[in-house]
Amino acid sequence: MDFFLNYPDFDYSKTYVASQTGVSRITIENIWTKLVKDQILVKNRRMGRAELYKLNMANPISKKLLKIDYELSTAYAGTPSRKIALEKATS
pLDDT by position in tens, the chain (length 91): 888 998 888 999 999 999 999 999 899 998 999 999 999 999 999 999 999 999 999 999 999 999 998 888 887 776 655 445 445 554 4
**End-to-end C-alpha distance for the chain, whole angstroms:** 40
The CATH number, out of the four listed (3.40.50.800, 3.40.640.10, 1.10.10.10, 3.30.2350.10), of the domain defined by the range 2-90: 1.10.10.10
Amino acid at 36: V
Task: Give the span between the Cα atoms of 46 and 52, in whole angstroms.
Answer: 6
Task: Give the span between the Cα atoms of 82 and 22, in whole angstroms.
Answer: 27
